[in-house]
Amino acid sequence: MTDTPNSSMSQTVPIPGADQSDFVTRVPLPPPRRDALSRAILDLKRKLNAVLLAHNYQVPEIQDLADYVGDSLGLSQQAAKTTAEVIVFCGVHFMAETAKILNPGKIVILPDQDAGCSLEESCPPEKLRALQATNPNFHTVAYINCGARVKALSDVICTSGNAVKIVNASPPGRDILFVPDENLGAWVMEQTGRKMTLWRGSCYAHVEFTHAGVMRVRRQFPGAPLVAHPECTRAVRLLADEVCSTEKMVDYCKHSPASAFLIATEAGMIHRLRRECPAKRFIPVPVANCRCNECKFMKMNTLEKLHDCMARLAPRVELDPEIIQRARRPIDLMLQISLQPLANAG
Ligand code: 13P
Ligand code: SF4
């Protein structure tokens, strides 16, 4: 089965019943096609003894089929412990790569191998190596949104869900070099009081949220808490009632007494939140005249491509064994620190 060039998946419409501030979404697949593809995917999953891992930003029809839907930390933890023979990773390339590093002997496939990340692009390994050479006392903390070769050059990996904990656990006498997200890095510095050298990278989607956009939607929903991802700029983070990873957004909204929330992160998160908290309302913070609150990379994965990749067992993530070996150490360290009951846990 292949992608149809005129697929209705590329069109956008306002959500029925939503007001002006609500987001636009893709036209869903016609139900009979969605059902047929979903059944075929579940069938392949059984035959392959595969596990289907999906990030919170994936399209709803993929989230609804996954064995596990979560943030980068949860997905790494799931990848580390799976007994499945095949890992089908619905997210972006660096996430599938992380799963391969944790499972060199398994087949790891992803629906679209071009699903990149602006943070990963911002940090080529050669440039990182050159910066590291300027200070032998650097302790490199790499946000998981980076390539395997950058991971291989790092001392420890972090995700948005554990960055505070990882930085707090870093050796006191060392100069921390935090790569590649300067917004997450700045937030971690505020939380930990630890000075760090920040790589100048950012998420092209999260930096589109602005102070003005938040104020505009706040006037419409004055009592709704603002929940923002730490990849947002400081101007947005300062307005937020909670700054956290996508998985912690679910916890926060579940346990908050509020019944409506403003969400400043990628639009796919709204589906997960609505599934987890059906009685509550989630309002995406608008971005100016564009669909920039949809990550174009995350949205490269479609149900059709998911079916194709499982049917063909391709594209596969393949990595140099030496890179796997070197990148594994800082990922294992992250997973180990994440389990430790430390004060100020991120
Ligand atoms: P989370 O780990 O919080 O889900 O973030 C991943 C990501 O890519 C954010 O843009
Ligand atoms: Fe990368 Fe931003 Fe997309 Fe996350 S939302 S995968 S950080 S480009």
Return the DSSP state at 229: -
Ligand 2 center–CA 300 separation, angstroms: 12
Q: Is 172 helix (H, G, I), strand (E, B) or coil?
A: coil
61 lies in the same domain as 111: yes
12 within domain boundaries? no
Q: Do 88 and 36 fall into the same domain?
A: yes
Let me know if residue 36 belongs to a domain: yes
Considering 161, 182, 202, which residue would you say is the last residue of a domain? 202
Strand partners, 236: none
Same domain, 156 and 141: yes
pLDDT, one tens digit per residue, over 310-321 is: 999 999 999 999
What's the rounded Cα separation, in Å, for the pair 107 and 112? 15
Residue 65 CB partners (closer than 8 Å, separation 6+) = 38, 41, 42, 52, 54, 306
Same domain, residue pair 151 and 211: no
Let me know whether 99 and 73 are in one domain.
yes
Asked if residue 21 is part of any domain, the answer here is: no
Question: In this structure, is residue 181 part of a structural domain?
Answer: yes
Q: What is the pLDDT of residue 25?
A: 53
Nearest alpha carbon, ligand 2 atom 3: 295
Q: What is the pLDDT of residue 7?
A: 34
- Whether 102 contacts 328, CB under 8 Å: yes
Closest atom of ligand 2 to CA, residue 117: 1
Nearest atom (ligand 2) to Cα of 203: 2
**pTM, 2 dp:** 0.91
| Dist CA 87 CA 179 (whole Å) | 27
Q: Is residue 19 part of a domain?
A: no
Question: Which residue, judged by its Cα, is nearest atom 8 of ligand 1?
Answer: 145
Last residue of a domain, one of 174, 202, 230: 202
Instruction: Check pocket membership of 293 for ligand 1, CB cut-off 6 A.
Output: no
The count of domains in the chain is 3
Q: Is residue 158 domain-resident?
A: yes
**Is residue 183 in contact with ligand 1, taking CB distance under 6 Å?**
no
Q: Which residue type sits at 122? A: S
**Quick one: which ligand is closest to 272's CA?**
1
Asked, for residue 249, whether it belongs to a domain, the answer is yes
User: Could you tell me if the CB of 71 is within 6 A of ligand 1?
Assistant: yes
Strands 50-55 and 86-90: parallel
Those residues with Cβ within 8 angstroms of residue 130's Cβ, 6 or more apart along the chain or in another chain: none
- The whole-number pLDDT of residue 8 equals 30
Say what the pLDDT of residue 84 is: 98
Q: At 80, which CATH number?
A: 3.40.50.10800
The size of the chain, in residues, is: 346
What pLDDT score was predicted for residue 341?
Answer: 81
Boundary (domain end) residue, out of 186, 202, 218: 202
Ligand 2-lining residues (CB < 6 angstroms): 92, 117-119, 145, 203-206, 231, 266, 295, 297-298
**Same-domain status, 141 and 165:** yes
Compute the distance from residue 161 Cα to the ligand 1 centre, in Å. 8
DSSP collapsed to 3 states, 106-117 = CEEECCCCCCCC
Position 325 in a domain: no
Domain co-membership, 188 together with 211: no
Can you give the pLDDT at residue 27? Answer: 76
Structure tokens at 157: 């990996």
Give yes or no: residues 224 and 152 share one domain.
no
Residue to mutate (ligand 1; options 203, 245, 293; most atoms within 8 A of CB): 245
Give the mutation target among 71, 73, 119, 182 for probing the ligand 1 site: most ligand atoms within 8 A of CB. Answer: 71
Q: Give the per-residue pLDDT at 322.
A: 98
What does the pLDDT read at residue 288?
Answer: 77
Whole-number pLDDT of residue 22: 43
Looking at ligand 1, which atom is closest to the CA of residue 205? 10
Closest CA to ligand 1's atom 6 = 72
Flag residues of the chain having pLDDT under 50.
1-24, 344-346
Specify whether 95 is located in the same domain as 125.
no
For residues 165 and 238, membership in a common domain is answered with no
* Domain extent at residue 152: 119-202
Query: Which residue's CA is the nearest one to ligand 2's atom 2?
Result: 203
Answer yes or no: do 265 and 276 share one domain: yes
